[in-house]
Amino acid sequence: MSEIRLINKFPADEKFTYDKRIKLLRETKIKQTEEKARNGGANEDDYGLIVQDEFDYKLKPNHPNGSIYGYKAWTENYCAILDSHPLYCNPLDAFVGKGFLFLERLRPADKKWNPAYPFDDLQKLFDKYNVISGIDNCHHFTPDLQIGFDLGWGGILAKLKEQRELHDETHYEFYDSEIAVVEAIIRFLNRMADEIKELGDKENNPELKANLYEMSEMNKKIAAAPPETFKEAIQWMCWFSMLSRTYNRGSAGGQLDEMLRPYYERDTEKGILTDDEAVFYLACLFLQDSRYFQLGGPDADGKDMTSKISYLCLDAADKINIACNLTIRVHDNLDEEFFKKSVAYLFKNKQGWPRYSSDTALAEGFMKCGYPLELARKRVAAGCHWMCMPGMEYTMNDTIKINLLKTFEVAYYEMMEDSGEKSVERLWEIYKKHLKIAVDATGNGIMHHLKYQSKTQPELILNLFQHGLIEKGVNITDGGANYYNMCVDGSGIAVVADSFAALQQRIEKEGKISFEELTEHMKNNYEDKDGEYIRQLMQHSERYCGGNTLGDKWAKKVSEVYTSLVRDLNNQHPGINFIPGFFSWSNTLGLGRTVAATPNGRKAYEAINHGANPNGGFRKDGAVSAMCNSIGAIQPGYGNCAPVQLEFDPGIVNDEEGIIKMADMIRTIMNTGNTLLNINIIDANKILEAHKDPFKYPDLVVRVTGFTAFFAMLSPEFRQLVVDRVTSVNGNKIKTEENQ
């Protein structure tokens, strides 16, 4: 268990540079990560959480089932947590702001949704098609932290009180809860400032003592007042991060360089901030939490937003070099030097950051939903595979997954078990029918969620950072947001496309096997007589990402139909915009676990493909270009993502020329229809060793899906998934007898 107040760790005469402090802070972080991993780990973001044994909170339920529902219970529990939450403080750090728990996870896992608002009929369909409906999920949209920078917690409180006076009693539940929450936050921050001062009194090292006193003063100030300096703004962000995480893991992110630029410019002009200090503060921000931030990209007029601070952000991430979720938005006018520098850091550190998004594909797509270009450009990288306009939209991004493969299985066995014709054409018709049922049910689920979410879990923190919500006095799900853009992801497109292609090629074009024979082998999981031979036959048919293959044609067809079905939800639910994407997040194992053997040679219950990526072995040369061309061709094209995930051996880049080639590759991928690009650079042998003994490389970071994580934190099953992905690309670099 980690210590949470790390004072008197150094002799009184010890001196510190910023680099030394970063190095020591990083070492502590790696140690804390190891502790988290030994404590069970997690298949998700790092969140900057600290495992400790000093503080525990016991949920105070307001329902006999042991859970909490509605404004009052969430408010009371959250305020109680803040009133008892201890301080985490490392005198080496520039900031405080570490949290220990998420209130949302203190609820019984199967009792999250308020049982007063059942959806049993929908649930039957979700079970049938293995849909992750997103009902009861929270916080997958982006706050605009500028609201906090402008008002501070005190200003927000004043605004809440002022607006309460202007509304009738139907809004009092909202206002009273929000007011209680913000008061608790201010109380908490004041207490933290006092406790930091007490630590300062006890600290023996004068340099660290001075830092603690300064930290205390700064925190006292921003407990209620808005931040005024670069340093205060980052401290404010650190607390926002902790406060929203502690409530419900809430999102943040945004255009980091632009958010901080005014403070940076003002402070450097005044001579109260050096670049070394700025880099140190930014490194401490990245250390505090692995939030998603965007750098670079066009402003509303298309002018590149890259500035000095963008460079400093990269330098800071390089110095701290841990799990970072930085996204560079690639566009025609992107500062070339900045772009090249980001690529150089990606290959130097091999920690999966930064990743890249395409302004062209994202903006053009979002405009197809009817938004102007200026708004499309405000939609910044904010999550694993998603973009959001900070403070302007409610999205449910990344919370909804329709298992396209389970839907295929339902269709396949319906065809095989009735007396009708067995053909690919007929299967396609049946598949479309079931896909529509699954998509429509998902749309109805989203509407159910919107209708009753505030009775389950109001967004008491993120509501405060939405434009117009305080004025309206309603929870974001109750119609207060400016826009409702609901993300609906399909998962498993590669397995479905490869299955259709294998059936068409092997049964109908080549006549190698019949539907009946194949079905028998599938039912026996290809483990019967000739089963493996048939599995190889099916698996080696023309696959998705092969380059103008049958698999590619089917993937496009599936994408087109899926996209039109999701877009049709707009007609069914006017006023809400539904946006399709292809992504699995870390559900590849779970979604695969519900589907038996498939016609593409996949064995029963194996994982589905990751995101929009192909199945392993899609081409003999594993050509990145072929893969990305195909992924570019299946983008739904309405502003959400079907990301590309690449795995490279470190040997791919040895010099400056190699960096330039990689930069050219990234630009091409971003210019050929693709929306988002994640890159892992991992030595296959190293990851195999780390898989055996995760603590051998406790600082090894991988980009798991959209997020980066410490490899040691992942479960063995999930580590295997990452290992499989890496070795399927870098397999020839593995030290085996055959490869020696």
Query: Which amino acid type is present at position 451?
Result: K
Binding-site member from 548, 560, 692, 717 for another protein (CB under 8 A): 548
Q: Does 740 bind another protein (CB under 8 A)?
A: yes
Residue corresponding to tokens 């809440």: 160
CA distance 259 to 294: 10
Binding-site member from 533, 695, 716, 717 for another protein (CB under 8 A): 533
CA distance 637 to 564: 11
Q: Does 528 bind another protein (CB under 8 A)?
A: no
Compute CA distances 198 → 81, 203, 283, 387, 394, whole Å: 21, 9, 25, 42, 42
Q: Does 524 bind another protein (CB under 8 A)?
A: no
Residue 329 vs 449, nearer CB to another protein: 329
Of the candidates 589, 728, 613, the one whose C-alpha atom is nearest the C-alpha of residue 676 is 613
Q: Does 540 bind another protein (CB under 8 A)?
A: yes
CA distance 707 to 581: 17
Q: How far is the CB of 729 from another protein (least distance, A)?
A: 11
Residues 652-681 that bind another protein (CB under 8 A): 652, 657-658, 660-661, 664-665, 667-668, 671-672
Q: How far is the CB of 651 from another protein (least distance, A)?
A: 10
Q: How far is the CB of 674 from another protein (least distance, A)?
A: 11
Residue 395 in contact with residue 485, Cβ under 8 Å? Answer: yes
Q: Does 17 bind another protein (CB under 8 A)?
A: no
Residue 164 vs 512, nearer CB to another protein: 512
Residue 530 makes CB contacts below 8 A (sequence gap 6+) with 521
CA distance 727 to 438: 34
Q: Which stretch binds another protein (CB under 8 A): 485-493, 566-574, 650-658, 692-700?
A: 650-658
Q: Which two tokens stand for residue 171?
A: 């809004």
CA distance 391 to 470: 12
Q: Which stretch binds another protein (CB under 8 A): 283-291, 304-312, 482-490, 532-540?
A: 532-540
Residue 604 vs 660, nearer CB to another protein: 660
Q: Which two tokens stand for residue 259?
A: 């958010």
Q: Does 508 bind another protein (CB under 8 A)?
A: no
Q: Which two tokens stand for residue 233?
A: 């703004």
CA dihedral 8, 9, 14, 16 (to 10 degrees): -110
Q: Which stretch binds another protein (CB under 8 A): 113-121, 229-237, 361-369, 530-538?
A: 530-538
Of the candidates 48, 91, 21, the one whose C-alpha atom is nearest the C-alpha of residue 288 is 48
Q: Does 84 bind another protein (CB under 8 A)?
A: no
Binding flags for another protein, 709-738, as an x/- string (CB under 8 A): -----------------------x-----x
Q: Does 739 bind another protein (CB under 8 A)?
A: yes
Please list the helix, strand and coil fractions of the chain in percent, rounded to the nearest 5, in that order: 55, 10, 40
Residue 305 vs 538, nearer CB to another protein: 538
Q: Which stretch binds another protein (CB under 8 A): 139-147, 325-333, 430-438, 536-544?
A: 536-544
Q: How far is the CB of 303 from another protein (least distance, A)?
A: 23
Q: Which stretch binds another protein (CB under 8 A): 346-354, 404-412, 527-535, 695-703?
A: 527-535
Q: How far is the CB of 660 from another protein (least distance, A)?
A: 8
**482 C-beta neighbours (distance < 10 Å), count:** 14
CA distance 616 to 720: 14
CA distance 373 to 213: 47
Q: Does 532 bind another protein (CB under 8 A)?
A: yes
Q: Does 547 bind another protein (CB under 8 A)?
A: yes
| Main-chain phi, psi angles of 554, to 5 degrees | -70, -40
Q: Which stretch binds another protein (CB under 8 A): 34-42, 198-206, 514-522, 531-539?
A: 531-539
Binding flags for another protein, 594-633, as an x/- string (CB under 8 A): -------------------------xxx-xxxx--x----
Could you say which DSSP state residue 104 is in? G
Q: How far is the CB of 455 from another protein (least distance, A)?
A: 51
| Main-chain phi, psi angles of 329, to 5 degrees | -90, 115
Residue 596 in contact with residue 671, Cβ under 8 Å? Answer: no
Residue corresponding to tokens 């005198």: 91
Residue 34 makes CB contacts below 8 A (sequence gap 6+) with 695, 698, 712
Q: How far is the CB of 122 from another protein (least distance, A)?
A: 42
| Main-chain phi, psi angles of 664, to 5 degrees | -65, -40
Buried b (16+ CB within 10 A) or exposed e, 446-478: bbbbbebbbbbbbbbbbbbbbbebbebbbbbbb
Q: Which stretch binds another protein (CB under 8 A): 314-322, 340-348, 444-452, 537-545?
A: 537-545
Q: Which stretch binds another protein (CB under 8 A): 52-60, 186-194, 218-226, 534-542?
A: 534-542
CA distance 382 to 485: 14
Binding-site member from 278, 537, 608, 676 for another protein (CB under 8 A): 537
Q: How far is the CB of 563 from another protein (least distance, A)?
A: 23
Q: How far is the CB of 549 from another protein (least distance, A)?
A: 11
Q: How far is the CB of 145 from another protein (least distance, A)?
A: 35
Q: Does 505 bind another protein (CB under 8 A)?
A: no
> What DSSP element (H or E) covers 487?
strand 483-491
Buried b (16+ CB within 10 A) or exposed e, 601-617: bbbbeebbbbbbbbbbe
Residue 460 vs 666, nearer CB to another protein: 666
Q: How far is the CB of 540 from another protein (least distance, A)?
A: 5
Q: How many residues bind another protein (CB under 8 A)?
A: 32
Q: Please provide the DSSP assignment of 276-310 as one string.
A: HHHHHHHHHHHHH---EEEES-B-TTS-B---HHH
Residue 162 vs 510, nearer CB to another protein: 510
Residue 111 in contact with residue 65, Cβ under 8 Å? Answer: yes
Query: 698 preceded by cis ω (within 30°)?
Result: no
Q: How far is the CB of 581 from another protein (least distance, A)?
A: 23
Residues that bind another protein in the complex, under the rule CB under 8 A? 530, 532-533, 536-537, 539-540, 547-548, 619-621, 623-626, 629, 652, 657-658, 660-661, 664-665, 667-668, 671-672, 732, 738-740
